Amino acid sequence: MKLFLIGYMGCGKSSLGRRLAKRLEIDFVDMDKSIEAEAEMTIPQIFATEGEVSFRKREREMITKLGSTEGDRIIATGGGAPCREGNLELINSFGSSIYLKVPPKILVERLCRHKEKRPLITGKSDEEVAEFVNRSLAERETYYNRASMVIDCAGRSDEYIVEHLYNFLKYNR
């Protein structure tokens, strides 16, 4: 089983993915961390030295690499990974995808606390982040909504979401 968690920056793909993998006793992989290890650079360094186009190419290659490696695993993708033409179809060809849907207001609150880790919002004021999130989330949802499953995370605890996904996956593996 390959399960890709997709969704906007700050929606909880990595933290929920790690917990769910533990619960299912399978491996967890953070795609951004795999890209960083392979490039021997952080994501901000890749954006600064190679540019976003090169990062997106690395992302697509990593989807194929992680998707075609043997074994069950949960893969947390970067927020933009499914939003290039063909990438979500590529993801779904390797397994299932789950969109973690979180309201923009909550994403903005979370993202404004850690702007420096994410080149797309680094240097923006809180107002600019809010404007950027609202605009790009609306564009990206066209892709996110094509996931195998959408889970509405609004007002739900991490424990609830993990148990919900665990029960679903236990009977649908």
Report the C-alpha dihedral over residues 65, 137, 18, 53, rounded to 10 degrees. Answer: 30
* Interface with ligand S3P, residue 101, by CB under 6 A: no
Q: Exactly one of 3, 9, 102, 137 binds ligand S3P (CB under 6 A); which one?
A: 9
Contact 108/121 with Cβ under 8 angstroms?
no
Residue placing its CB nearer to ligand S3P in the complex, 73 or 118: 118
Tokens of 85: 């033409």
Q: Exactly one of 26, 41, 90, 120 binds ligand S3P (CB under 6 A); which one?
A: 120
* Interface with ligand S3P, residue 79, by CB under 6 A: yes
Cβ contacts of 21 within 8 Å, gap of 6 or more: 27, 28, 73, 74
Contact 97/4 with Cβ under 8 angstroms?
yes
* Interface with ligand S3P, residue 17, by CB under 6 A: no
Q: How far is the CB of 66 from ligand S3P (least distance, A)?
A: 14
Q: Exactly one of 2, 58, 101, 118 binds ligand S3P (CB under 6 A); which one?
A: 118
